[in-house]
A = this chain, B = another copy of it.
Amino acid sequence: MNRSNVARLLVSCRDREGIVASLSSALRDAGANIITSDQFSSDPYGGRFSLRMEFYVPDPDQRLAELEQRLAEIGAELELDYRLVDARRRKRVALFVSRYDHCLLDLLWRWRRRELEMDVVAVVSNHPDLRDEVARFGVPYHHIPVSKETKPDAEQAQIDLLAGEVELVVMARYMQILSDDFLRRIRCPVINIHHSFLPAFAGAGPYQRAYHRGVKLIGATAHYATEDLDEGPIIEQDVIRVTHRDGAAALERIGADVERLVLARAVSWHLQDRVLLQGHRTIVF
């Protein structure tokens, strides 16, 4: 068996009896060998059920098609929301950025050293600043300026460029709010990174305000962008300790470190199909 023939099955549904038994039988019949399986039920009575199975499958070109057919039957019977993913195929990704380069460069650098299972098909920016930097990685750079007046046109240009072409958009410190209309029309998940403090500082100048408030931790949150921009389902969070010696500029540098670590983890997990949604929460397997 070719050990690169990995596939994944992701399932979300209302919890009920027999789901695992049915799916396990289907996989066994397809000759699959399960590597990792995770389930989580928010509540077996009326709650939501999430499952991720990663497995080797022999002769995937034929077997995955057959398995897809079988899953369609089971899915209809058990009312499953499921996806079968051929892990040999890398996801196509667009990276959005404004001027801060730390998240973008960290993702590109991890991508080049094969830490991230993706094809970066485009970098989109509302500024021209990072063009040369991105060129070194051999990735097309699309400068699409955005002003209050041109925002609808700019988003239309982004949609024309990307909709149907990418399976993930990563906002690697893209300092524009994507409209609800964009989020609907791009037809793929969008991951965003956001500073997070205890207590939280929404709005402008967060590091300056965190400094004046004397926080002892600087954090970051990676989440899926939804219509309520900073309130989408959380994928990952982390913090770094700071002290009174760290001025607003130091807090911002430390924030950049935690932002790029947290975003890289979130993107990596998403690419491995390890993040499932249960309502407003993520299940990270």
Q: 5 smallest A-B Cβ distances: which pairs?
A: A214-B281, A21-B24, A196-B198, A37-B39, A216-B237
Q: B17 and A20: CB pair below 8 A?
A: no
Complex alpha-carbon distance, A245 and B235, angstroms = 14
Whole-angstrom distance from the CB of A19 to the nearest CB of chain B?
8
- A27 is an interface residue with CB less than 8 A from chain B: yes
Contact (A215, B237) CB under 8 Å given A34-B44, A35-B44, A200-B199: yes
Q: Which of A1-48 contact B (CB under 8 A)?
A: 1, 3, 15, 17-18, 20-21, 24-25, 27-28, 31-41, 44-45
Residue from B1, B102, B234, B244 within 8 A of A215 (CB atoms):
B234
Q: B35 and A37: CB pair below 8 A?
A: no
Q: Which of A185-243 contact B (CB under 8 A)?
A: 196-200, 211-217, 219, 221, 230-231, 233-239, 241, 243
Q: Which residues from B are CB-within-8-Å of A101?
A: 113
Q: B244 and A40: CB pair below 8 A?
A: yes
This chain: copies in complex = 4
Nearest B-chain residue to A16, judged by Cβ: B33
Q: A244 and B282: CB pair below 8 A?
A: yes
Q: B37 and A213: CB pair below 8 A?
A: no
Residue from B28, B216, B280, B283 within 8 A of A213 (CB atoms):
B280
Q: B200 and A283: CB pair below 8 A?
A: no
Nearest B-chain residue to A19, judged by Cβ: B34
Nearest B-chain residue to A29, judged by Cβ: B21
Chain A: interface residue total (CB-CB under 8 A): 69
Q: Which residues of A contact B (CB under 8 A)?
A: 1, 3, 15, 17-18, 20-21, 24-25, 27-28, 31-41, 44-45, 56, 101-102, 105, 109, 113, 115, 136, 196-200, 211-217, 219, 221, 230-231, 233-239, 241, 243-245, 253, 257, 261, 278-284
Whole-angstrom distance from the CB of A73 to the nearest CB of chain B?
16
Complex alpha-carbon distance, A102 and B40, angstroms = 30
Q: Which residues from B are CB-within-8-Å of A40?
A: 36, 244-245
Q: B281 and A213: CB pair below 8 A?
A: yes
Complex alpha-carbon distance, A196 and B217, angstroms = 11
Q: A214 and B198: CB pair below 8 A?
A: no
Counting chain B CB atoms within 10 Å of each CB, the highest count among A36, A244, A278 belongs to A244
Complex alpha-carbon distance, A259 and B35, angstroms = 30
Q: A44 and B56: CB pair below 8 A?
A: yes
Q: Which residues from B are CB-within-8-Å of A196?
A: 198-199
